[in-house]
Structures are given as structure tokens and as C-alpha cells.
Amino acid sequence: MSNSTKPFLRALSGEILTPPPFWLMRQAGRYLPEYRATRTEAGSFLDLCYTPDLAVEVTLQPLRRYGFDAAILFSDILVVPDALGQKVSFKEGEGPVLPPIRSAADLDRLNLSGFHEHLAPVYATMAGLSKAIPATTALIGFAGAPWTVATYMVEGSGSKDFPNAKGMMFSQPELFARLMALLTQATGDYLIRQIDNGAEVIQIFDTWAGALPELEFDKWVIAPTRALVERIRAERPGVPVIGFPRGAGVLYKRYVLETKVDGVSIDSSVPLDWAAAELQPHCTVQGNLDPLLLVAGGEALDAGIDRVLSKLGKGRFIFNLGHGIVPPTPPENVARLAERVKNWKG
């Protein structure tokens, strides 16, 4: 059991709390008018990520409105390749664009020299947040999991079916293994430094985990995540880790058992009864309201919230969405959710 007064940390240590702690992925974002104003002030999205005062401000905005039990560092998973020397830019309406890694020569141009210097503004944001958040709010640091970050690095952009990343994995396994080793090292270094600047919890986002077949899931989702969990436990004991292998289906259970994460975030497709029976006995479960219910609002939202709470609230649980808040979400619907979760009696 945690000796913390923070409900979020207590839930991750195994306590069953009523009501459960809650926060929402992408709780700082475009659905909030104050975020849009700060984003305009920053210039580009990456400028916002690399400007500590503004990144602290957008992290705090949803806390002021809704009283979430956790704040998550405002940044992006692609600051890691950016810091390794693969220039990242975000094009309006297109998303991230990177010069793709397709050969050994491309990979040779990336390295860890100057990595922490490049990410110094992110660490400054974390340090600023640790001083600025309320005393009962937990501070989450995060990174993209190596497989998910690798997909962007090899494709050069977002993708639906990852033909180049999977092509490298299957036809150039040694090159792909080199890329994943670099990412696992860099991600571990990055997360340790976040902890040293105030992160109390780590979340590892493996957004595209569900794209991999079983054997590759074991090799490129489970194994790197287990290595990161083991490193954090060894070097910064006591800092819990939440994994989010989105789309993993029945492989969620193997992921939990083999990575030994303290918590697992589940996407909206995971059956609640199955999660309660197969995942909650092994770790704290976080999730999994459909983000589009938050857009819809009204009675449908209320019923969805109640269903998640009734199915998962009897065990180790943190209320969240099955993925991030989407931009069309009305802020008043988030307020409705916050009030309903806070008032839940079990």
C-alpha cells in the first residue's frame, strides 16, 4: 500500500477507492478554448512542447476546470526521435512528418549525443509542474513505447497499416532490432530524467501495439516494455508504471503478466467483465470510456460512465477514457463526467 495522500498513487499501489481517482488522456488539448489560445501564442505545436512556461500552463488548464487526480506532462511522443537527430515537424491537417529511416545509413545519423540537452525544456516543464500542481494531484511522466515511436520513424508519418515499419521488421530484422535497441535505451534515459525532475508515475503509450501479430507483439511490444519497467524499478524504485498497449485484445493479459506493469490502460474495445476477471487480479486497470461518448454527452454519456464504474469500480481502478479526448468534445461534457465520477458511491 502507498503511504501517499494522493488517490491516484494509492490506486496504483493496489488500494480500492470509492470513488476511484480519475484523469483523461489528452485532457490538455484542443477542446479547451484556453488551450487553443495558448497554442496560438506558442506558434507551432512543437514550440509549445519546448516552451516550459506555456507547457506548464496548458497542463494546468484542465486541472483548474475539472479537479483531475493526475496531471500528465504536456509533450509529445515524437520529441524522442527529434532529440536523436531525426527532425520532426507537424503539418496542419497532416500530423507529424519526419525524414523516414529506411536504411542503415539513415539509422547511423541518429545518436544519443546531445539528447538530454535537446530535451532540457521538457525536463524544465516537469520540474515546473511538480511545484505548480495541487498537493493531492499526482504527476505523470510519459513516453511512446519503442514500437509505436519506430512506426513514425520508419514510415515518416502516421500510418494505418505500417507497410514500411513491418517491412523492415520482417525483411531487415537486424536493422529493425538496432533501431529498437536505440529507442529502448533513449526512452529509458528520457523516463529516468523525467522522474528526476518530479514525475511520480510513468505511462508508456504503445498506441499501435494492436497492429502486430502475436510473435512480433511478444518481441517488440512486451520485451521492450519489460526492459523499461525493469530499468525504472532498478534505478528509481517506487515509481509505478502504467502500460497502454492499445488494441492488444486478449494479449493484454500476457502483456500485464510479462511486463509486470503496476497499471494497464485499456482501450474501449476491451470487454469490462473480461478486464475485471483477467486483468484486475494482477494490476490496477485504467479506462475505458469511449471518447465519442464524451462528445455525445447526455444520457448516453451518463450510462457509459455508470457502466464502467459498476464493472471496474469494485477492484483496483482508475477512471479514464479508452483513448484521448477528441477536439470536438464540449467542455461542459467533461464537467458532467467529472461530477458524475466524483459523486459515485459504488
Does the annotation flag 76 for ligand binding? yes
pLDDT of residue 128: 98
Owning domain of residue 259:
7-343
Confirm whether 142 is domain-assigned.
Answer: yes
Closest CA to 241 of 264, 221, 223, 268: 264
Each residue's pLDDT tens digit, 183-218: 999 999 999 999 999 999 999 999 999 999 999 999
Confirm whether 2 is domain-assigned.
Answer: no
- Specify the residue for cell string 458524475: 340
Q: How far are the Cα atoms of 120, 187, 205, 244, 255 from residue 142, in angstroms, in the given order? A: 15, 9, 7, 11, 18
Distance CA(25)–CA(9), nearest Å, equals 17
Confirm whether 181 is domain-assigned.
Answer: yes
Categorize the per-residue pLDDT at 1 as very low, low, confident or very high, splitting at 50, 70 and 90: low
Confirm whether 1 is domain-assigned.
Answer: no
Confirm whether 89 is domain-assigned.
Answer: yes
Report the catalytic residues. 26, 30, 39, 76, 152
**What distance, in Å, lies between the first and last C-alpha atoms of the chain?**
21
Each residue's pLDDT tens digit, 226-275: 999 999 999 999 999 999 999 999 999 999 999 999 999 999 999 999 99
- What are the strands, taking DSSP E only, across 227-322? 241-245, 263-265, 284-289, 317-321
Q: Which amino acid is at 127?
A: A
Confirm whether 148 is domain-assigned.
Answer: yes
Each residue's pLDDT tens digit, 76-104: 999 999 999 999 999 888 899 999 999 99
CATH code, 103:
3.20.20.210
**pTM listed for this prediction:** 0.98
Q: Which amino acid is at 41?
A: E
Average of per-residue pLDDT values in the chain: 97
Helices (H), 67-119: 79-84, 104-108, 115-118
Each residue's pLDDT tens digit, 294-311: 999 999 999 999 999 999
Does the annotation flag 329 for ligand binding? no
The answer to whether the Cα torsion of 130, 133, 139, 142 is positive or negative is negative
Does the annotation flag 64 for ligand binding? no
Residue 192: CB partners within 8 Å, gap ≥ 6?
Answer: 231, 232, 235, 236
Does the annotation flag 116 for ligand binding? no
Number of domains in the chain: 1
Give the CA angle between residues 102, 105, 106 to the nearest 5°.
45
